Amino acid sequence: MPTTDHATILVVDDNPTILTAARFCLENTFAHILTLQRPDEILTLMQQEAVDLILLDMNFSLGVNTGREGLMWLQAIRKRHPDIPVVLLTAYADVELAVKGLKQGAADFVTKPWDNDELRHKLKDALERNAEVERLDEMEAAHIRRAIDRCHGNMSEAAKLLGVSRQTLYNKMKR
């Protein structure tokens, strides 16, 4: 996971003024800033671009302030890209909504209008916290490689060292 000065952030908000303000606020913090006004373009863009962090508005329909849309998009992003942190953005400081978003996997929550330093700090923290946690399957694969190296490629010895059968070791390596 890159540091912020090498990272790409995606900012999603239906208000072009917010997108412009976010771009100016974050231009010296992130290497690349992508913006979208329509949340239905998020997953398509993420297939085309490597995104390290998302700042996601909670409301996209005029006059609707429930946050349901943001939570729906949060779930869609988390389902397809569980390793990418999402920070929620809303004009309405609703503690219940914030808790709901955090329970559904949001990394943090920011209210509009934001304090520039606080926004940058929360985004950096979300990216750094995400980088600190190595995925379990990655840890297991690295551990298996070390055991095989230690046993000079002898799979039976590596399996013994790991406390698993040779077949289990082969199955884990296939994943």
Indicate the average pLDDT of the chain: 87
Residue 33 has pLDDT above 80, yes or no: yes
pTM: 0.73
**What domains lie within the chain, and their CATH numbers?**
4-132 (3.40.50.2300), 136-174 (1.10.10)
Predicted confidence (pLDDT) per residue in 51-67, tens digit: 999 999 988 876 666 77
Whole-Å CA distances, 152 to 12, 111, 130, 147, 158: 50, 55, 34, 9, 9
Predicted confidence (pLDDT) per residue in 61-84, tens digit: 766 667 788 899 999 999 999 889
Q: Going by DSSP bridges, is the β-strand pair 32-36/53-57 parallel, antiparallel, or unpaired? A: unpaired
Among the residue ranges 40-44, 59-63, 105-109, the one predicted with the least confidence is: 59-63
Q: How far apart are CA 90 and CA 132, in angstroms?
A: 27
pLDDT value of position 68: 80
